[in-house]
Amino acid sequence: MGTTIFLIRHGKTEGSNVKRYLGSTDVPMSENGIEQIKRISSFISAEVLKRRSELITPEHRNLQALAVTAVYCSPLSRALKSAGIIAEAHNLKPAVIDDLRERSFGIWEGMTFMEIKEKYPDEFEAWANNPLKYSPMGGESTIEVRDRAIKALDTILDNHRLNSEENIVIVAHGGVNRVILCHMLGMPLENIFRIEQDNAAVNIIEFWDKYPVVKLINGGPVG
């Protein structure tokens, strides 16, 4: 077994009771979101301990399998705050990677789903039907998001040997996480909305040599 990545979506943000395309807008995490991430931090620690019990034998001396060894995150405050909570539990500081930021939604930035559907009905339907072919005016395309997100992922993996049995946390956003998971699963990008990413979602990806195995999608503690 090689590196294990815990791919996390940030906790709930202020005003998240109304569904909006926040995108690159920097909205702070709510108190509810902070509590979500605290539970996620405990969940990750428990998963690492479970993994340790499976890996560590009298002949096995790789101490990197005992704990989280690095935390990476988007620069947006909701992701940075989430990453900080998780990193603190392991005496780490999160490393910010700009390419993990959420996509820009252009003219839709900050609008609610209903506002977009009412003001741009045809465009919204095109986006929902095939987000690979259509992007909001002034925003990033799905291909652009994929290219930078996978570049960030490759950078992270290059920082950690694939056979090192390290545990790495990446805290990003719903759109970025979906793109990464599609890449890992070999799914067509036009199907990104078939993958759910709730606030504080946990995804677990294990690498066997250089081959990824997705062990969990949109998981985590209940509540």
* Segment 91-148, tens digit of pLDDT: 999 999 999 999 999 999 989 989 999 999 999 899 888 888 898 889 999 999 999 9
Whether the pTM exceeds 0.75: the reply is yes
**Chain centroid, CA 181 distance in Å:** 9
Does residue 108 lie in a domain region?
no
Q: Tally the domains of the chain.
A: 1
Does residue 16 lie in a domain region?
yes
CATH code, domain carrying 189: 3.40.50.1240
The tokens of 182 are what? 């599609």
Does residue 57 lie in a domain region?
yes
Does residue 190 lie in a domain region?
yes
* 170 φ/ψ angles, rounded to the nearest 5 degrees: -125, 125
Does residue 177 lie in a domain region?
yes
CB environment 108-118: b (16+ within 10 A), e (fewer): bbebeeeebee
Cα distances (angstroms) measured from residue 146 to each of 114, 125, 222: 26, 21, 30
* 178 φ/ψ angles, rounded to the nearest 5 degrees: -60, -40
Residue 99 structural domain:
4-103+140-219
* Segment 44-92, tens digit of pLDDT: 999 988 876 665 555 555 555 567 999 999 999 999 999 999 999 999 9
Distance CA 42, CA 46 (A): 6
